[in-house]
Amino acid sequence: MYKSEKLANQLKLLIENGSLKPHEKLPSLRVQAQISGLSLLTVMNAYQELEAQALIYSKEKSGYYVSNAISEQPDARPMVISLNSKIEINSLIFKYLKSIQGHQIIPFGSAFPNSELMYSKKLIQIMGQITRNKKSYDLSDNLPPGNFQLRKLIAQRYCMQGIAADPDDIVITSGCLDALNLSLQSIAKAGDYILLQQNIFYGAWQAAERLGLKVITIPEHPQYGFDLEAFEHIIKTYPIKVCWLMLNSHNPIGFTVSENIKAKIAELLHQHDIYLIEDDVYEELYFGKTKPLSMKFYDQKNLVLHCSSFSKTLGASFRVGWVFAGKFSQHIQHLQLMSTISVNSILQNALVEFISHHHYEKHLRTLRKHLQQNKLQFFKYLEHKLPPTCTPYFYPSGYFIWMKLPENVDSMTVYQEMIEQNIGVSPSPLFNITAHKPHYLRLNSSFELSETLKQALDTLITCIEKHQNSS
C-alpha cells in the first residue's frame, strides 16, 4: 500500500468514527507533513484521494475541511421498528415506472445508468461474431445453472477477493432481480419474517408482498449506514428467517457499510442462523482504489446468497445476472426451470469472450471514472444552487444522489409536478413505505451535466423552493 493511501485510510477512519467532525479544518499540507513525517507530495496525494471520495472538500486559499457526507446523512431517527402485516406497494411502483418511461423524460428518476456509458462496443462486436456461429445458439450448454465457462469466470472474480467459490456455487439468472426473487423463494414461505432496511430498492417490498412475508424494517444509522444495535435487538426479538440487505453502494441512499460492521453482521447472522440475501448489484461501481467486500467474504456457514448482475455495468437490457447460491443451487435451478427456463445463450457466450479477454476490467475502469466525474459535477451543482434547507449527500460509489428536502415539502408532490414538465425524479415513498414525512428524493447523476440537464435541475430547485415557501 502506498504511503498516501495509508494516510488517506487513517484520516478516513477518523472521519467515519466522528473524531474529525463535519466542516472541521484539517491540518494544512505542511503541518500534516510535519506530523506524519511524510513528504508534502504524499500528503497532497492523500488529501486529493479523500477529496475524490468527497470525504473532504477544499476552500480556496483556506485549506481542506471534512465534508458532511457521512455524519449528517438521513434523519437521526431513534430505533423505530415497524411490523407490517401487509405490504401494498406494487401499484405505486407500477404507476411510477410507467410515468418515467419515454425518451422525452429527463432521466433523473431512472435506475439505469447513462446508456452512453453502457453497451461496450467491444461486447457488441463480439456478439456480432457469435451470432454468426450456429453453435452458440445451442441451448443445452446454457441451461440452468448456466454456461459453465461464464460461471467459472464469475467464480474466479470471487476468488480474486479472497472468497472461495466454485463454478457449481453459481447460478446464472435473468438479471439481479431474478436472482434475488429466486433466492427469496428458495428460503422463505408465507408468514415467515423478513428483515429489510427501511429504505430499500422497491423490488424487495414487491417480493415480500408477493410471498406474503411479514416485514420488519431496520432504520439506517445516521453515521454508519447500518445500525448494529437495532439489528441485534430485532433478531433477538423476532424470529427472523431471512434478511435482504444492501451494504455496498446502497440504493437509494448510496452509503457503503464499513468492513468492520459487515464482519459484526456476519457474526450475528451465524449466532442466530439467519439467512442473508445480499443485493450487491452496484458492487463494481466503487470510486476508491479497492473494491468493498461482499458479505459472502464473512460467511462461514453458507447463510449468504449473494446476488448481482451485469445490468449496472454493461447494460440492463442484457438481463444477465447471477446468484452465489451454494447449497441452494439445486433448488434455485428447479424454480428457474419452472419460470424463465434459461438465460439467452448468445449473451452468455458473448460474456465469456468479453470477460476472459480482460475487456470487462478495462470497461469497468473507464465506467467508474466517468460515473465519478459526473456524480461530482451533479453534486457540486446541487450544493451550490440548493437552498440551505436542502441537503444532497455524496457517497463515493454508484450514481445516485440522495437529497433531503425541507420537512414541509412532500417528495410525491414534487415528483408529480416534475413529471408534468417531463422531468423524472424518484420520491422516497418508493423506497420506504413506512415514512411519515416523505421528504427525500433520489436523483440519477450518471449523465454529463449538459445545459439541458442544468435547466432541469434549476426547474426542480424552483419547485422545491415554491413548496417550501407556500406552507
Ligand X SMILES: Cc1ncc(COP(=O)(O)O)c(C=O)c1O
Residues that bind ligand X (CB under 6 A): 111, 175-177, 201, 203, 246, 251, 279, 281, 309, 311, 316, 321
Nearer to ligand X, 4 or 120 (CB): 120
Q: Which run of H or of E encompasses 241?
A: strand 240-245
In whole angstroms, what is the distance from residue 140 CA to residue 144 CA?
9
Radius of gyration of the chain (CA): 22
Q: Three-state DSSP class for 224?
A: coil
Nearer to ligand X, 64 or 354 (CB): 354
Nearest position to ligand X, beta carbon? 175
In whole angstroms, what is the distance from residue 211 CA to residue 215 CA?
11
Q: Which residues sit opposite 423 in a β-bridge?
A: 106
Nearer to ligand X, 45 or 309 (CB): 309
Asked if 372 and 287 count as a contact pair (C-beta separation under 8 A), the reply is yes
Strands (E), 3-87: 56-59, 63-66, 83-84
In whole angstroms, what is the distance from residue 239 CA to residue 357 CA?
47
Closest separation in Å from C-beta 310 to ligand X: 7
**Cβ neighbours around 135 below 10 Å, total:** 9
Closest separation in Å from C-beta 202 to ligand X: 9
Closest separation in Å from C-beta 17 to ligand X: 27
Closest separation in Å from C-beta 311 to ligand X: 3
Asked if 173 and 321 count as a contact pair (C-beta separation under 8 A), the reply is yes
Give the burial class of 192: count Cβ atoms within 10 A of its Cβ; 0-12 exposed, 13-18 middle, 19 or more buried: middle
Nearer to ligand X, 43 or 153 (CB): 153
Closest separation in Å from C-beta 107 to ligand X: 13
Closest separation in Å from C-beta 120 to ligand X: 16
Nearer to ligand X, 49 or 280 (CB): 280
In whole angstroms, what is the distance from residue 144 CA to residue 459 CA?
48
Residues 103-132 as b/e (b if ≥16 CB within 10 A, e otherwise) read eebbbbbbbebbeebbebeebeebbeebee
Nearer to ligand X, 32 or 147 (CB): 147
**Cβ neighbours around 394 below 10 Å, total:** 24
Closest separation in Å from C-beta 200 to ligand X: 8
Strands (E), 280-373: 304-309, 321-324
Nearer to ligand X, 194 or 464 (CB): 194
Total residues belonging to the chain: 471
Closest separation in Å from C-beta 442 to ligand X: 10
Nearer to ligand X, 9 or 206 (CB): 206
Which ranges of 161-227 would DSSP assign to H, the alpha helix?
Answer: 175-187, 202-211
Nearer to ligand X, 177 or 257 (CB): 177
Closest separation in Å from C-beta 309 to ligand X: 3
Nearer to ligand X, 281 or 409 (CB): 281
Closest separation in Å from C-beta 172 to ligand X: 12
